[in-house]
Amino acid sequence: MTVQIDHALEEIRRFRPSPEFAAQAVADARLYEEAAADRLGFWAEQARDLLTWSTPFTQTLDWSNPPFAKWFHDGELNVAYNCLDRHVEAGLGDRVALHFEGEPGDSRAITYAELTAEVKRAANALLALGVAAGDRVAIYLPMIPEAVVAMLACARIGAVHSVVFGGFSSKSLQARIDDAQAEVVITADGGYRKGRAFPLKPTVDEAIEAAETTVRSVLVVNRTGEDVAWTEGRDVWWADQLAAVDAEHEAQGFNAEQPLFILYTSGTTGNPKGILHTSGGYLTQAAFTHKNVFDLHPERDVYWCTADVGWITGHSYVVYGPLANGATQVLYEGTPDTPHPGRWWEIIEKYQVSILYTAPTAIRSFMKQGRDVVHGFNVRSLRLLGSVGEPINPEAWIWYRHVIGGGSIPVVDTWWQTETGAIMISALPGITDLKPGSAQVAIPGISIDIVDDDGTPIEGEGGGLLTITEPWPSMLRGIWGDPERFKETYWEKFGDRYFAGDGARRDEDGDIWLLGRVDDVMNVSGHRLSTAEIESSLVAHPWTAEAAVVGASDETTGQAVVAFVILKTSQADQVTDVVAASDELRRHVALQIGAIARPRQVFIVNELPKTRSGKIMRRLLRDLAEGREIGDTTTLADTSIMQIISEQVK
Ligand code: ATP
Ligand code: MG
C-alpha cells in the first residue's frame, strides 16, 4: 500500500522578500551551502559561534548507538550562564530581557542583570532545598517572570525541569510528578486569566496528595495574594526562600548531554509522552533557529512569542532561544481578549513589538472577530510574523500578512514538534520566496524526506509521510523512563529514519506542505485526502473563520468527509438557514478541490475541540461523526466543549 496523498489545493501565490528586508537580513544563503557541504561541521561551527563552552567539545556527533544520539558530548557548558551571565559580562546588563505584562495591567521590565541576579538566588534556593544535579523539579506556574527564573535556576544547577501547563488538572499534574519522580514543585498561589484570579496551589496540594512520589518541598510564588492552605515543613514562600540565600552563585559547566528538561507532548493524538531534551545540542539549535528564522537583531528588536512556557514553543522560543541570543521580549500572562478583544494589539503598540510568533488558532480567532479590532491600534512596529502549531491555511496566512503585518512583511510558517526541540522546516526571511500555507524548506543542517508507507522516498512532486533522515542537535534523547516506547513510536516504522507522524507533500519547486497528522488522513473511494487541504479550502470561503475536517466511515465510499465550520462573526448574523449554508460550503469545496472532496456533511458550530495549546483534536470529532462515545478529553482546553458541539450537530 502506498501512502501517496492526493494533492488537492491549488495555491500559487508567491511573495519575494523586499530588497530592504533582504539587505538587512540576518540569515545568509551561504548557510545552506555550508550545511550541505559538511553537515556536522556546520553544526559544530554554530555550537561554537552561538554558545560559550566552559570545556570545548572535540566530537560533534556520536551516533554509535542509534536512535540514542549524543551531540558535542565531550564538551561542557552551563545553559543558564549562556542565557544570562555572559550577556552581563559583555556589557549588556542594562538591556531589558523581559517586558512582563500581567493580565490585570501590572507591568515590569527586567534587565539581563536583574534576571541573572534573580536566577542566582533561585539556584541557591533550590540547592538549599536539597535539589542536586539530575533531580527533577516540577514547575506549575502562570506566565510570570518567575516561570522563566525557575526554569533557568534548574538549568543552572543541572536539575531537570518538567514544566506542567498551569491550566492542567491536578490529575495531569500528579501523573507528571509521578512519571518524572519530581521531589520539588514550584508553583504560585494563583495567576490571572480571563479577568479573574485562578488558584494554582490547591491543585498542587491535591496532586501531591494523590501522587506516589513523595514531594519534599513546594516553593510558592506570591502572585495573586489569595489565601492558600499551608503544609508546614513542606511549603515555602518563594520570596522568603530567595531572600534567605546567598546572592552569588557561580555557574558550573555540565556535560553537553546533561538532561535539561522533560516535557510532556500536548496530547492531541493520545497519551502524552515525557520527551527528554539535553543541553548543548538543544541550545545550539534553539539559538540558531531563533536568530535566523526570526531575523533577530537583538540590539533593536522587541520579540514576542505568545506561547505558554508549558509548551515546547515556550521552552525553545520564550526561554532558551531568545535568552541565549540576548533578545528583548514581551511576556504576557493572560488571554488575548481580556479586558478587551484588542489586548494583544495594545501590547504590541505599547512595547513596539517588531517580531510576533503565534499559532494559527489565534490568527483564525482574530479573523473571526474581523479586522476592525486590530485597526484600533498601531501595530506598524511589526516587521516579521511567525506561525507554529498546525498547518496555517493560505487564507489565514494572507490575513496575517495583510491585516496584522500591513501587507509587506515576511510570514514564516515553522514546522517542528516537542520531539524535535527546535524548528526543522521554515522559510528563512530575506532569502526564501514565501508561499502562503507551505512550511517550505528544511532549516540548513536538517535532512527531511517524504516517503511512502514502505519507506521509499517520493521523488519530485508528491505526498506521503514526513521523515527526518539524519540526527539533529536538538532531537529528543528519548521518552523519560521508556526507551522501548521511544524506539517503537519514532523509529520502528522505518528503522533508520525518524517518523514524525505527519503527512506532507513536496511541490514542483521542492517546497514542503504539511498535510496534517497521518492518523487523520482520509481515504475516500480509494483517494487519500488531507485534512489540511480541505480545511484550507473551507477557510478560503468568505463566510468561514475556522474549519475542522475528519473522515467518518461510510458504507459506499469507505470514508466520507465530514466538516465542522465556525463562521465569521460578521457572517454568522446573516446566515439564517444553516442547511443552505452547509450546502453552499459543500459546493464550494467540490468546486475548489473536486467532487471527491465534497463533504458528506458540513456542520455549522460555534466551537471546536482544542487542546490547551490550541490544536484541533480531530479524533474527538471523528468519534462524534461516527456516532461513537467521545474518547479521552482530559487534554482539552474546555472539557464541556464536546457536549456543546454534540448538541449543535444533532
Ligand atoms: P501528541 O504528540 O501528544 O499527540 P502534539 O503532536 O500536538 O501532541 P506538539 O509536539 O506540540 O504535540 O505538536 C507537534 C505537531 O504539531 C506536529 O507533529 C504537527 O502535527 C503540528 N505542527 C506544528 N507546527 C506545524 C506547522 N507549522 N505546520 C503544520 N503542522 C504543524
Ligand atoms: Mg506529536
Q: Hey, where are the domains in the chain?
A: 523-649
Which of 392, 417, 450 to probe ligand 1 with, by most ligand atoms within 8 A of CB? 417
Q: Confidence class of residue 5 from pLDDT cuts 50, 70 and 90?
A: low
> Which residues have CB under 8 Å from 113's CB, separation 6+?
88, 93, 94
Q: Which residues pair with 517 in a beta bridge?
A: 502
Neighbours of 145 (CB within 10 A): 20
pLDDT of residue 8: 60
Question: Does the CB atom of residue 418 touch ligand 1 within 6 A?
Answer: yes
611 SS3 class: strand
The answer, yes or no, to whether any atom of ligand 1 lies below 6 A from the CB of 612, is: no
Mark out the alpha helices in 294-393 (DSSP H runs): 312-314, 321-324, 343-351, 360-369, 372-375
- The average pLDDT across 402-414 equals 97
| Spacing, Cα 43 to ligand 2 middle (Å) | 25
pLDDT of residue 290: 98
pLDDT for residue 1 is more than 50 = no
CA distance 200 to 208: 13
Rounded Cα–Cα distance for residues 209 and 16 (Å): 57
- Residue 30: CB atoms within 10 Å: 9
What's the whole-number average pLDDT of the chain?
95
Residues 6+ away with beta carbon under 8 Å from 127: 157, 245
Nearest alpha carbon to residue 521 among 512, 508, 532, 530: 530
Contact predicate 204/174, CB 8 Å: no
- Starting from the CA of residue 512, give the closest ligand: 1
For the chain, state the CA radius of gyration.
24
If one residue of 313, 418, 467, 521 were mutated to test the ligand 1 pocket, choosing by the most ligand atoms within 8 A of its CB, it would be 418
Report, as an integer, the average pLDDT of 411-435.
98
Average pLDDT over residues 393-399: 95
pLDDT digits (tens, 9 = 90+) for 75-129: 999 999 999 999 999 999 999 999 999 999 999 999 999 999 999 999 999 999 9
Residue nearest to atom 1 of ligand 1 (CA): 267
- As a whole number of angstroms, the distance between CA 278 and CA 175 comes to 22
**Residue whose cell numbers read 514531594:** 215
Q: How many CB atoms neighbour CB 643 within 10 A?
A: 11
- Identify whether the C-beta of residue 261 lies closer than 8 Å to the C-beta of residue 283: no
Q: What is the pLDDT of residue 185?
A: 98
Q: What is the pLDDT of residue 246?
A: 98
Q: Which residues make Cβ contacts (< 8 Å) with residue 555, sequence separation at least 6?
A: none
On whether ipTM exceeds 0.90, the answer is yes
Work out which ligand 1 atom sits closest to the CA atom of 311. Answer: 11
Q: What is the pLDDT of residue 272?
A: 81
d(CA 168, CA 636): 9
- 4 is written with which cell numbers? 501517496
Q: What is the pLDDT of residues 288-322, one digit of tens each?
A: 999 999 999 999 999 999 999 999 999 999 999 99
Residue nearest atom 6 in ligand 1 by C-alpha distance = 268
Beta bridge partners of 384: 355
Residue nearest to atom 16 of ligand 1 (CA): 389
CA angle 569, 103, 397 (to 5 degrees): 40
For residue 397, what pLDDT band results from cuts at 50, 70 and 90? Answer: very high
Q: Helices 641-649 and 618-625 sit at what angle, rounded to 10 degrees?
A: 40
Q: Specify burial of residue 337 (Cβ count, 10 A radius: 0-12, 13-18, 19+).
A: middle
Look up cell 528544511; give the residue: 442
Alpha-carbon span 79 to 151, nearest angstrom: 10
Give the mean pLDDT of 456-462: 93
- Phi first, then psi: give them for residue 42, nearest 5 degrees: -60, -50
Q: Over the stretch 50-77, which tens digit does the pLDDT of each residue have? A: 999 999 999 999 999 999 999 999 999 9
For a mutational test of ligand 1's pocket, the pick from 264, 289, 415, 505, i.e. the residue with the most ligand atoms closer than 8 A to its C-beta, is: 415
**CA 373 to chain CA mean position, Å:** 25
- Model confidence at 3, pLDDT cuts 50, 70, 90, reads low
- Amino acid sitting at position 282: Y
What's the pLDDT band for 347 if we cut at 50, 70, 90? very high
HSE (CB half, 13 Å, CA atoms) of 107?
A: 12
Question: Which of the ligands is closest to the CA of residue 520?
Answer: 1
Single-letter code of the amino acid located at 581: A
pLDDT one-digit tens code per residue, 145-195:
999 999 999 999 999 999 999 999 999 999 999 999 999 999 999 999 999
Q: What is the H or E stretch that residue 649 is in? A: helix 641-649
The residue to which cell 502572585 is assigned: 223
Query: pLDDT tens digits for 477-512?
Result: 999 999 999 999 999 999 889 999 999 999 999 999
| pLDDT tens-digit series, residues 21-42 | 999 999 999 999 999 999 999 9
Q: Are 292 and 410 in contact (CB under 8 A)?
A: no
Residue 4's pLDDT band (cuts 50, 70, 90): low
Distances (CA, A) of 291 to 27, 172, 386: 8, 34, 13
For residue 2, the model assigns a pLDDT of 47
Q: Is the CB of 489 under 6 A from ligand 1?
A: no
258 lines ligand 1 (CB under 6 A): no
What's the CA gap between 645 and 445, in Å, rounded? 44
Cα(295)–Cα(85) distance, rounded to whole angstroms? 23
In terms of pLDDT, which residue wins out, 574 or 359? 359
* Cβ–Cβ under 8 Å, residues 611 and 268: yes
Distance CA 427, CA 27 (A): 10
The tens digit of pLDDT for each residue in 256-271 reads: 999 999 999 988 877 7
> What would the CATH number be for the domain defined by 523-649?
3.30.300.30
- Binding-site residues, please? 193-196, 313, 389-391, 413-418, 502, 517, 525, 528, 539, 541
* Ligand 1: residue whose CA is nearest its atom 23: 389
CB burial of residue 555 (10 Å; 0-12, 13-18, 19+): exposed
Please report the DSSP string for 65-112 in residue order: ETTEEEESTT-EE-HHHHHTHHHIIIIITTSEEEEEE-TTS-EEEEEH
Instruction: Please report, as a single letter, which amino acid is at residue 353.
Output: V
